[in-house]
Amino acid sequence: MTDLLAATTASTATDAAPDSASTVVHPAASVDHIATPLTDARSQLAEAIGLLGYTDGLHQMLATPRRELSVAVPLRMDSGESRLYLGYRVQHNFSRGPAKGGLRYAPSVNLDEVRALAMWMTWKCALLDVPYGGAKGGVAIDPREHSMAELERVTRRYTSEILPIIGPERDIPAPDIGTDEQTMAWIMDTYSVNMGYTVPGIVTGKPISLGGSQGRASATSRGVTHIALAALRHVGIEPSRASAAVQGFGKVGADAARFLSEAGVSVTGISDQYGAIFNAAGLDIEALSEHVRATGSVVGFAGAEPIDGAELLALDVDLLVPAAVEGVLHEGNAAAVRATVVVEGANGPTTPAADRIMRERGILVVPDILANAGGVIVSYFEWVQANQAYWWRADEVEARLEERMLSAWQHVLGYAGARGLSLRTAATALAVERVAEAHKLRGLYP
Ligand code: NAD
C-alpha cells in the first residue's frame, strides 16, 4: 500500500464526518472501530486487489474518486428566511462509460459516505455489465422537514451547482434515500432549461409520462426478490416454506416485502426508522402499505405486535433483507443474526467484521452490488429508451431484468465456488477485474 492511500485511509478514520452539517451516525461506528461506509468500501476493494494481485498504482487509482464536487446549496424557505445546505456529487470512475448513481437527501449525508456509495456503484455497474461508471450525490438535508416548494427549490439549486459535471453522456443521477421521481423531474427540467432543449436522458427514475421506464420504480425490489428466491433455493429452502424479515419500508423494502410475499414467502417482521413490527403468521403487506400511506410509518399497524428495531435483525427467519441504511449489521450484532440467507437490499448494510462473523456461522450473504442492482439495470434500460425515443412494455422490461439478475447471480456463484470465496469477495473481484481491464485497454493519458 502506498503512503498516499494509507494517508487518505487514516484521515478518513479519524475525521469520519468532516463535511457534514450534522453528525453522521453509522450504526457500526461504536463497535467496529473506525468503521464507516468508506472504510468498509475500501477494505472490500483491498481484499479484491490482493486476490487479483494488482499493483499499488492500480489500487490507488481504483480507491480514489476521479472527480468530486462539493457545493453550498442556499435555500429560501417558505417563511422568507434562508438556510444553507451542503451538497456533493462524486464520480468514482468512468473507465467503462458515463458515471451513474443516485441522489440522497438525508441529514447524515457527508462527503465520505457519498464517496463510498459512488465506489459501490462502479462495482455494481461493472458486475452487471452495464456500460457505466459509478457516481453518487447527496444533500445533507432532512426532506421531511420541508414543503414541496422548498424541496423543489433546493433540488433546482443543487442541480444548477452540479450542472458542469452532469449530462446524459457524463453523469446520470437517479433516486435514492429521500428522493423520488418528482425530484428527478425537477432535475430534468432544470438541466433542460439550461441546455435550451428537453434532455430526458439526464436522469433515470423519472415519472413515466416524462420518459421514465415501465418497471423502474419497483426494479430494485424485483431484483432483490429474484436474487432472494434463487439464494433460498441454493441453500435448499423452498420459498413457499420460507419466512423473512425486511428492514426498511421505503422504495426498496416495501416492494421487496410485497414481491416476496407474492412469491409465497411469509414476511413476519418489518421495520422502518420509527420502529419494528412482527406477526408470526406473516404480515399482510397490502394492509401494511395502506397503514403506512395513512400514518407515515409501520408503527401502530393493527395486524402485528411491536418489537424492537434490533430484535428485527435477530428474528428466527430464513431470509433477512436489510433495505434501509449502511452499517446496520456490525461486529456487535452479527452473532445474533439467525437468518440462513441475508440479501442486501440496501447499499453497505454489512461491515467487514459482520461479514466475517456471518461467514464463519455459515450464513449466506448476497452482497449489495449484486442483490440491489435491479435499479441500475432498469435505469440503464430507461436511458437506452430515452436515447432512442422508443418505449418498451412492462413485460419486456421485467423479462430483461430477470435475465440479467439471474445470469449475474450464476456468474458470481460460479466464480465464488471455483475459488472458495464469499459471494461479496467474488462479486467485488469480478467487478474490479472488469474496471481494471477497461482502464488497461484505454491506457493512461498522456
Ligand atoms: P427510502 O428513503 O425510500 O426508504 C428508506 C427506508 O429505510 C425508510 O422506510 C426508512 O424509514 C427506513 N430506515 C431508515 N433508517 C432506518 C433504520 N435505522 N432502521 C430501520 N429502517 C430505517 O430509500 P430507498 O430508496 O428504499 O433506499 C434504501 C436503501 O437501498 C439505501 O441503502 C439505498 O442506497 C439502497 N438502494 C436504493 C435503490 C433505489 O432504486 N431506490 C437502488 C439500489 C440501492
Assess whether 305 and 328 both reside in one domain: yes
CA distances from 183 to 132, 274, 283, 378, 383 (A): 22, 24, 31, 18, 17
Q: What are phi and psi of 373, to 5 degrees?
A: -75, -5
pLDDT confidence bin for 32, thresholds 50/70/90: low
Q: Whose alpha carbon is nearest atom 15 of ligand 1?
A: 273
> What is the best residue among 114, 123, 251 to mutate for testing ligand 1's pocket, by most ligand atoms within 8 Å of CB?
251
323-366 per-position pLDDT tens digit: 999 999 999 999 999 999 999 999 999 999 999 999 999 999 99
In a domain, 78, yes or no: yes
User: The C-alpha cell of 248 is what?
Assistant: 426498511
Q: How far is the CA of 178 from the centre of ligand 1 (A)?
A: 8
Question: For the chain, how many helices (H) and strands (E)?
Answer: 15, 12
Is residue 341 a part of any domain in this protein? yes
Tell me which of 120, 252, 297 to substitute to probe ligand 1's pocket, judged by most ligand atoms within 8 Å of the beta carbon.
Answer: 252
Of 140, 210, 131, 209, give the one whose Cα is nearest residue 172.
Answer: 131
pLDDT in tens, 35-89: 899 999 999 999 999 999 999 999 999 999 999 999 999 999 999 999 999 999 9
- Check residue 203 and report its DSSP letter: -
Domain that holds residue 32: 2-62+429-442
- From atom 22 of ligand 1, which residue's Cα is the shortest distance away? 273
CA of 446 to the centre of ligand 1 (A): 41
Work out how many domains the chain is built from and give that number: 3
In this structure, is residue 372 part of a structural domain?
Answer: no
Asked whether residue 307 is assigned to any structural domain, the reply reads yes
Among candidate residues 346, 366, 386, the one where a domain is terminated: 366
CA distance 117 to 392: 29
Ligand 1 atom 34: residue of nearest CA: 347
Ligand 1 neighbour 372 (Cβ under 6 A): yes
**Residues 76 and 57 occupy one common structural domain:** no
202 vs 213: CA distance, rounded Å: 14
* 267 pLDDT above the threshold of 70: yes
Does ligand 1 have an atom closer than 6 angstroms to the CB of 271? yes
Q: How far is the CA of 445 from the centre of ligand 1 (A)?
A: 39
Are residues 329 and 191 located together in one domain of the fold?
no
Indicate if 19 and 90 belong to the same structural domain. no
Q: Is residue 151 situated within a structural domain?
A: yes
For residue 318, the CA-to-ligand 1 centroid distance in Å is: 21
pTM: 0.93
- Co-location of 149 and 184 in the same domain: yes
Q: What is the CATH number of the domain that holds 133?
A: 3.40.50.10860
Q: Which of 173, 201, 229 is the last residue of a domain?
A: 201
241 and 188 both lie in a single domain: no
385 lines ligand 1 (CB under 6 A): no
Q: Please check whether residues 58 and 119 belong to one and the same domain.
A: no
Looking at the fold, whether 264 and 353 belong to one and the same domain comes out as yes
Place of cell 439549486: 157
Residue 50 and residue 70 in one domain:
no
What is d(CA 37, CA 372) in angstroms, rounded to the nearest whole number? 17
Please state, rounded to an integer, the average pLDDT across all residues of the chain: 93
Regarding whether 186 and 145 lie in a shared domain, the answer is yes
Largest CA distance in the chain: 65
Residue 35 is predicted with a pLDDT of 81
40/101 Cα distance (integer angstroms): 19
CA–centroid distance, 5 to ligand 1, in Å, is: 30
Asked if residue 362 and residue 229 are part of one domain, the reply reads yes
Q: Residues with catalytic annotation?
A: 136
pLDDT at residue 83 in the model = 98
Ligand 1 atom with least separation from CA of 274: 11
In a domain, 143, yes or no: yes
**End residue of a domain, out of 366, 396, 415:** 366
**Cell numbers linked to 332:** 456487535
Helix (H) or strand (E) holding 67: strand 67-76
Q: Is the CB of 247 under 6 A from ligand 1?
A: yes
pLDDT tens-digit map of 363-422 = 999 999 999 999 999 999 999 999 999 999 999 999 999 999 999 999 999 999 999 999
Are the CB atoms for 323 and 250 separated by under 8 Å? yes
Write the CATH number for 226. Answer: 3.40.50.720
Ligand 1 closest atom vs CA 252:
26
- 88 within domain boundaries: yes
6: pLDDT strictly greater than 50: no
Dist. CA 252 → ligand 1 center (Å): 6
3 pLDDT higher than 80: no
* Average pLDDT of the segment spanning 142-161: 98
| CA-nearest residue, atom 23 of ligand 1 | 177
391 within some domain: no
**Strands of the sheet with 171-175, listed across from one edge:** 67-76, 82-93, 133-139, 99-105, 171-175
Q: Is residue 246 domain-shared with residue 289, that is, in the same domain?
A: yes
